[in-house]
Each structure stands twice: as structure tokens, then as C-alpha cells.
């Protein structure tokens, strides 16, 4: 379901796939070729949520904000299943592993990888092209070419799957 909140209505590019039982409300912008998978909630009823091009937000995610910070996902970001994002910024090409929690004011650097089940605490900055994991998340190594290729493959495959599923909705 798509809901306005007060004077704000989500702005969603027509190419976006939105899975069943997903709720998007308020000040939310979603860019071209992005995919929002089944049972996800994206609420823009406190601050803006800005989602770039070719972002995939997988099943059962929750995105929200506090008044101090918007929630920003730059282009080609992957958000794994059951992730919670709250008033954070995820830079281009980064991947957030399944079940992770990213909190207010945290910034995930370009091309960074957050391991499954990690907690990125408020205000934490994860450098570009690094693997961080744990609770609280700590950088464990630089990413290599194989890591980056796998992350790019995931973005590509989710964009393709999204278009397939979108064709079934017509």
C-alpha cells in the first residue's frame, strides 16, 4: 500500500517493482529500476527517505527516521532481508547484510559491505570498500575484486528479477 502522510505523498519512479504486502508512506522518493521486496515497510512520516537508482531492498525490511537525520540510500545499494535502517546514509554500491541494524547518523561508505547480523551504532562511519561486521560493527578488512564483483552481480540480478516480477503485476 502507498499512503500519503499529511501533505507528503511518496514519489516512486514507474519502473520500480514493489512486492505485495509492502507499505510506503509519506516523504519517500524511490529512483528508477529499484526493487522493494515483499513485506517491507518504508515510512517517511518524520524526515525524508531518499532511495536512488537500482537499489534493492529485500524482503521484510523496515526503514524509518528520526527528526535529526533523513534516510538516504544512494544508487546501486543492496539491503538484505530483514534489515532495519533508521536515519542513516548508505553510499553508492554498498551492501547491508541480512538482519543488520544501521542506526541514526551512521554512514556506510561507498562500496562497503556490512556483514549479516551486524549493528552499526549511531554516528558510526564505515569507510569505503571495507567489510565491517559484528555488534557493534568493526572494520575487519578491505574488500577485494571478488567481493566487489559479487556485490555488482547482486545489484544486477535484483534489477532483472524486479522487472520480471513487475511484468507479472500487469
pLDDT in tens, 37-94: 999 999 999 999 999 999 999 999 999 999 999 999 999 999 999 999 999 999 999 9
Please compute the mean of the pLDDT values over residues 22-40 and round it to a whole number: 99
**Structure confidence at residue 68 (pLDDT):** 94
List the domain boundaries for the chain.
2-168
pLDDT band for position 170 (50/70/90)? confident
Q: Is the pTM of this model over 0.75?
A: yes
> What DSSP assignment string belongs to 49-64?
EEE-TT-EE-TT-EEE
The CATH class for the domain spanning 2-168 reads mainly beta
Copy the grid coordinates of residue 14.
514507474
- Quickly tell me which residue has 507528503 as its cell: 8
Residue 160, by phi and psi: left (phi above 0), alpha (psi -120 to 50) or beta?
Answer: alpha
Query: How many Cβ atoms sit within 10 Å of the Cβ of residue 156?
Result: 13
pLDDT at 65: 96
Of the pLDDT bands very low, low, confident and very high (cuts 50, 70, 90), residue 141 is: very high
Q: What is the pLDDT of residue 54?
A: 98
Phi, psi (deg, nearest 5) at residue 165: -65, -35
Amino acid at each position: 500500500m502507498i499512503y500519503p502522510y499529511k501533505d507528503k505523498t511518496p514519489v516512486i519512479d514507474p519502473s520500480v517493482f514493489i512486492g505485495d504486502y509492502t507499505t510506503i508512506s509519506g516523504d519517500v522518493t524511490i529512483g528508477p529500476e529499484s526493487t522493494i521486496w515483499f513485506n517491507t515497510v518504508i515510512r517517511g512520516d518524520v524526515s525524508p527517505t531518499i532511495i536512488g537508482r537500482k537499489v534493492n531492498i529485500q524482503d521484510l525490511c523496515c526503514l524509518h527516521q528520526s527528526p535529526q537525520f533523513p534516510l538516504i540510500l544512494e544508487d546501486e545499494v543492496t539491503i538484505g532481508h530483514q534489515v532495519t535502517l533508521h536515519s542513516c546514509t548508505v553510499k553508492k554500491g554498498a551492501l547491508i547484510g541480512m538482519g543488520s541494524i544501521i542506526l541514526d547518523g551512521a554512514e556506510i561508505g561507498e562500496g562497503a559491505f556490512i556483514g549479516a547480523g551486524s549493528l552499526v551504532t549511531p554516528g558510526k562511519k564505515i569507510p569505503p570498500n571495507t567489510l565491517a561486521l559484528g555488534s557493534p560493527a568493526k572494520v575487519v578488512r578491505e574488500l577485494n575484486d571478488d567481493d566487489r564483483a559479487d556485490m555488482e552481480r547482486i545489484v544486477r540480478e535484483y534489477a532483472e528479477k524486479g522487472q520480471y516480477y513487475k511484468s507479472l503485476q500487469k
